[in-house]
Amino acid sequence: MSTRFKPPGQCPACGEWVPRGAAACDECGACAKSGWSGNTHTDGLDLPDEEEFNYDDFIASEFGGKGSREIAGSKLWWWVALVLFLILVFGAVIPAFR
């Protein structure tokens, strides 16, 4: 990247028009201090591009992403527990009224 760029003209980092007297590019933030290159402060960090990020994969990896079969099994367990609880309650209450 060229450090000799002086506005007005196209930004050497992103190609957007930089008006006369501007200290930095409005689009990418490149300036004379950075040598008119866009992301010099993050170049060595090996950050993923925004296009590579998949939110659904992130949620699945962070929160366990249960499949529909696991959810159905979980619901079945709660229904069985409810029925057994009702049998237990009514089994204890009905003989008390006889």
Residue 75 lies in a domain: no
Range of the domain at 4: 1-47
Give the global pTM. Answer: 0.33
Residue 65 lies in a domain: no
Residue 31 in this model has a pLDDT that exceeds 50: yes
Q: How confident is the model at residue 55 (pLDDT cuts 50, 70, 90)?
A: confident
pLDDT at 14: 78
The closest alpha carbon to 30, from 50, 2, 54, 58, belongs to 2
pLDDT at 69: 61
Strands (E), the chain: 9-10, 17-18
pLDDT at 2: 45
Please count the structural domains in the chain. Answer: 1
Residue 64 in this model has a pLDDT that exceeds 60: yes
User: To 10 degrees, the CA torsion angle through 51, 52, 56, 58?
Assistant: -130
Residue 9 lies in a domain: yes
Read off the pLDDT of each residue in 83-95 and give the average, rounded to a whole number: 87
Tell me the one-letter amino acid at 50: E
Residue 18 lies in a domain: yes
Residue 79 lies in a domain: no
Average pLDDT, the chain: 75
pLDDT at 1: 46
